[in-house]
Amino acid sequence: MKLAVETITVTRKAAGSYVNGRWVDGTATDHSASGNIQPLSGRELQQLPEGDRERQPLKIYTAFALENGDVVKRGDGIEYEVQAVEDWTPFNQPHYKARLMRVEEQ
């Protein structure tokens, strides 16, 4: 069985720093990647705080490591923030599991 893989855009913001005593935000870089996005299981949903259950949480499996705070944009334009990352490489081929939370529109 082959898993459904979709193309995503990952935005990673570099760490900021002080320049001449003033804070300067880091620059953001985008790169295209692919991953398998799935809904959370019932058990995974129960482990979330109540407020986060309403934010359309998902999980994604990738061949590369995402980082907390990365923004994942799906093909339909909806953005999700990476909340937690698990390294599953010791158990099989290199892959990672991350929990995503939908970015609330303002």
Q: pLDDT tens digits for 12-64?
A: 988 888 999 998 888 889 999 999 999 999 899 888 888 888 888 999 999 98
Tokens encoding 59: 């999980």
What single-letter DSSP state applies at residue 4? Answer: P
DSSP code of 54?
T
Domain 6-102 part of CATH 2.40.10.270: yes
The pLDDT tens digits of the residues spanning 68-78 come to 999 999 989 99
- Predicted structure pTM score: 0.82
CA distance to 6, 11, 103, per residue, from 106 (Å) = 26, 19, 9
